[in-house]
Structure 1
Amino acid sequence: MRPILRHLIAACEWQTLRMSLVSNAILSSHVLDRSVHTTRTMGAEEQPLVTLSNINPNVKRMEYAVRGPLVIRAGQLEKELQAGKKLPFDEVIRANIGDCHAMNQKPLTFMRQVISACANPDLLETDLFPSDVKERVKLLLSFCGGRSVGAYSDSAGVEIIRRHCAEYIEKRDGIPTDYLNIVLTTGASEAVRAVLALINSSTADGIPTGVMIPIPQYPLYTATLAEYGMTSINYYLDESNNWQLQIEELQRALDEARGKCNPKALVVINPGNPTGSVLTHDNIKNIINFARKEKLMILADEVYQHNIYAENARFYSFKKVMHEMQVKLELASLMSASKGYMGECGLRGGYCELLNFDPDVKAMFFKMLSARLCSSVLGQIAMDCVVKPPEPGDPSYDLHEKEKSEVLESLKHRAQLAADTFNSIPGMKCNIVAGAMYAFPQIILPEKAIKAAQSLNQAPDFFYAMNLLESTGVCIIPGSGFGQIPGTYHFRTTILPQPDHLRRMMEKVKKFHVQFLEKYT
């Protein structure tokens, strides 16, 4: 990464703090209003024992941009529209979060049939479902306590589903896989939190544990690290090179963090959220060599592995590349039923594979997870349908392949539409959306707009996004919620609105942006 970045880190930290203060100010104002009301209605002896002054300070530090003030305001606007209030728009488009079914993506038939019959086995006595669905349901229920999804599973998950996950990985990578290294989780988010909790020794030795995370990043990481009292070691992705990860930048970030924390792990999101990038094979090799040299475990967030759109792009798992290199390094890889072509966000299904971990450490990880009993069994079943879909010759195969290909082909066209539209707008530029479900365009904001934002104590891209929401009903998330090089401004939008809906959204953004530039230039 260019040397100028060395002089911009302090500015970036200030910009992140400023955005945090804005969000916290909104939250604190809400809490203050409630506390004043409480004081007026409660006697002195009835004052709350738990207050902002004595709760966990790390919780107050947490920020989660994709569900922050803009999303709260979007919800208020939706209610105003429902109440008949006249606004400059007739709908709110929630492009803030990768929630496929909320954007009217249809559920996959096979998955929903399996889940339905698992929840209500009486359906097996009907002619509603094909034979392969019934066979899958009977197999899954035979591994459930009392043959019911209402029973707890083992803490690590239903055994047959873990075995199916191992078969999926083995088929994907051509590498023998032990199902005992796999744990089923409540989406990939729980796996992230669990792995970070496992390696967090901050409270034991007084030195915060450091974790390297990409900037821009998915806010789950900064939020969790803040909650756990850990240190984020931010490394910048190279926007000028389709958001690839530069080893020189990794080294810079790590060198500057030494002495301030105990670096233990490197997070890589591939395909990228929010960037839509896909790492090359050589890039992954270089990352693995860096992690080996610096003695860092790798946390590979690979939940978008099915979402590859660019013609020259391909997904390579860190496990596969590490195996090719004959490198043995601690690796935690994550997968989810929420993304891909499935989009089953609400069912909360995911898995985590631990590779090359010390057996005693792995035992501690499984012990830690046992405290939450188990993840949702219906979420586990959703994951089973992802890793073991119908095979050629099965009655459900043709329909499943048709539905899967239609979703992925449509997402590919929407990825192209989003990038092309943003690049056609003056004062905006966007890398290709090679994978995942998001675009992260850069916006060139006039100085007058930046000063207007500063007068309101707002980050400039937050100011832009709020104006967009109030003017058009389109809810995006400012780049400051994900991190960005100081002096640059971005926003993240999903590409999930259905094609006609996405075109209307793009038209609204384009019209607004032109008017915004006219107003503030």
Structure 2
Amino acid sequence: MQYLQSSGKVLTKKNINQNLVEMQYAVRGLVPITAERIQKEILNGDTSKPFKEVLYCNIGNPHSVGQKPITFYREVLALVDCPMLLEREGVEKLFKPDVIKRAKELIGLIKGGTGAYSHSQGIEGIRKHVAEFIKGRDGHPAQVGDIFLTNGASSGIQMILTTIIAEPTDAILVPLPQYPIYSALIKLLNGTQVGYSLDESKGWALNIDELMEKIREARVQGAKPKALVLINPGNPVGNCLSYDNLVDLVKLCKAEGLVLLADEVYQENIYADRPFVSLKKVVRDLGPEFSGFEFVSFHSTSKGIIGECGRRGGYMELCGFDPEVQAQIYKLASSGLCSNIDGQVMVDLMIRPPLPGDESYEDFTRERSAIFDSLKRKSIFLHESLNEIAGVSCQPLKGAMYAFPKLDLPPKAIAAAEGAKHAPDTFYALSLLENTGICAVPGSGFDGPNHIRLTFLPAEDKLKTAMSHFRRHHEMFVKKYS
């Protein structure tokens, strides 16, 4: 009994891993937790709020706010998960021939079915298809042995950071504003985060000179920069880097001895004229001199047009790694046995959509175009609507699923936030939630203070109503604290 604390428990907040206690993850932090409480109160009959439902704009979770799943994906998955359906009379009347054909092909790749473990890196046949997809996208080959199928991009990111961070002085350079999985994992793994700022005044552009200075400063302070995170297209800021910007970044990382981690999960979410260019293409285009350059790229079925967040499908490609290090990453993947099989199937479906001539092609193209066109319209609408509000400014939304507007808050509001022991943008986001039902994420949770992050995933009619409420709230908030 000597292990029991005064509370009568072995574990208390004071004696568990303090890196976990200190870890923050804003997209599921205070404001979303408050939103969930309010939504439960409304469902239980509370009519005291000036709204009837919470509009969740805090997380990139398309299906949760009404985006419909694409039929082809779900039909193939249904047959792969329940292959006995293929033996039933009339199955050909329920499913198109190409759906049945794809399901049979995938079933043939999965030994033991979707209820069995796969190879720890993922089903080899699916990894082969990923390699083919990468080659088709970039014009450069990919090796099946370098590809790991993962539970979304998140588990791949965690594996790589776990491998890289060996001691507290090991530093990871992260773009600011950043997606908080990086700050959370770096804290949990007891590493050092070094932020490099994106230039908001220039559309969240990357400044190579500023980045070099951050690396030098980190070394002077005793840190050892080992890797740099690139999020392209950007989350939360919605930028999309140019080819030349990526070339400069690769050259810098090679010169400074940094592993480059490319978070490319929004590569299908491009709404402006500048196309997405993968890191893999840029590195390989640079020629043999960069053949040994170490980098990892991550992709996911949670974003893009597919939006299958709950399936937890994704992959990472390792390039240029020492074979002994890659063997250790494989060992780490093996400790989790394998990523979930439905997620692996979704990866295959994402990278191999129906082709012209396939029976599902027209329906698939129609459904996909409807989703993409709506996202593009909403990105334009949200950008324009935010910039029409005095005291709010938002850079163009070129990619991803989010707006990251800047808030010009009155001094009295900042003082009130300090009195409430909140960051000013958290104080604002809580007020926005309580008065409109809009759940946004404070920018301080992304290391972008005095901003908020909003998704533009809700249905267009709900988003238009929400922006009307947002404007009214902002005007009320400013008046109250002026």
Does the TM-score normalized on the shorter chain lie above 0.5?
A: yes
Residue 255 of structure 2: aligned partner: 293
* 1:127-206 map, 5 Å: 127=92, 128-146=94-112, 148-202=113-167
Question: Matched residue of 1:237: which SS?
Answer: strand
Q: What pairs up with 1:415-454 in 2 under 5 angstroms?
A: 415-454=379-418
Q: Following TM superposition, by how much is the alpha carbon of 1:164 offset from its aligned partner in structure 2, in angstroms? A: 0.8
Distance change (3 Å), C-alpha of 1:44 and 1:349:
closer
Q: Residue type matched to 1:291 in 2? A: C
Query: Deviation at 1:122?
Result: 2.1
Give matches, 1:253-402, under 5 Å.
253-258=214-219, 259-310=221-272, 312-326=273-287, 327-328=290-291, 329-402=293-366
- Matching of residue 108 in structure 1 with residue 108 in structure 2: no
Are 2:31 and 1:70 equivalent residues in the alignment? yes
Gap regions ≥5 residues in structure 1: 1-42
In the TM superposition, what is the alpha-carbon distance from 1:199 to its structure 2 partner? 1.0
> Per the alignment, in what secondary structure is the counterpart of residue 385 of structure 1?
helix
Could you tell me how far 1:123 is from its partner in structure 2?
2.1
Alpha-carbon distance between aligned partners in 1 of 2:441 and 2:326, rounded to the nearest angstrom:
37
Q: Using the alignment, how far apart are the partners of 1:342 and 1:428 within structure 2?
A: 31
Q: How high is the TM-score relative to the length of structure 2?
A: 0.96
Distance 1:50 1:92 in 2: 35
For 1:514, the aligned partner's letter is E
* Map of 1:27 onto structure 2: none
Contact 2:238 2:396 in 1 (8 A): yes
Match of 1:513 among 465, 474, 477: 474
> Which one of 224, 240, 250 corresponds to residue 185 of structure 2?
224
For 1:478 and 1:58, how far apart are their aligned partners in 2? Answer: 22
Cα distance in 1 for partners of 2:399, 2:52 equals: 31
Q: Deviation per CA, 1:74-116, whole angstroms, max 9, x where unpaired?
A: 0111111111111111110000000000011010111101111
CA deviation digits over 1:325-382, x for unaligned, max 9?
1223111000000000000000000000001111111111111110000000001001
- Letter of the 1:264 counterpart: K
Alpha-carbon distance in structure 1 between the residues aligned to 2:360 and 2:223? 52
Cα deviation 1:42-85 (Å, max 9, x = unaligned): x9898111122221111111000000011111011111111111
The answer to whether 1:240 aligns with 2:204 is no
Aligned mates of 1:410, 1:46 — CA distance in 2: 53
Count of aligned residue pairs for this structure pair: 470
Q: Which residue of 1 aligns with 2:457?
A: 496
Report if the CA contact (8 A) 2:80-2:114 is conserved. Answer: yes
Distance 1:421 1:239 in 2: 18
Match of 1:463 among 427, 442, 446: 427
Partners of 2:329 and 2:366 lie apart in 1 by 39
TM-score when normalising by structure 1: 0.89
Measured against aligned partners, the alpha-carbon deviations of 1:289-322 in whole angstroms (never above 9, x if no partner) come to 1101101010000000000001x21100011011
| RMSD (Å) for aligned C-alpha atoms | 1.3
Aligned residues of 2:233 and 2:276 also touching (Cα < 8 A): yes
Identity of aligned residues (%): 45
**1:45 & 1:309 partners in 2: Cα distance?**
57
SS at match of 2:299: strand
Describe the SS at the equivalent of 1:305: coil
SS in 2 for 1:145: coil
Do 2:230 and 2:262's aligned partners in 1 also have CA atoms closer than 8 Å? yes
Residues 112 and 248 of structure 1: is their aligned pair in 2 closer, same or farther, counting only changes over 3 Å?
A: same
Please say if residues 403 and 454 of structure 2, whose CA atoms lie closer than 8 Å, have aligned partners that are also in contact: yes
In structure 1, how many angstroms separate the alpha carbons of the residues matched to 2:430 and 2:265?
A: 29
* CA contact 2:109–2:123 (8 Å) conserved in 1: yes
Which residue type is aligned with residue 462 of structure 2? H
The letter of the residue matching 2:330 is: F
In 1, distance between residues paired with 2:205 and 2:286? 20
One-letter amino acid matched to 1:388: R
Find runs of 4+ consecutive structure 1 residues off by over 6 angstroms.
43-46
Report the CA distance between 1:456 and its aligned residue: 1.0
1:407-442: per-residue Cα shift (whole Å, max 9, x none)? 111100000000000000000110010000000000
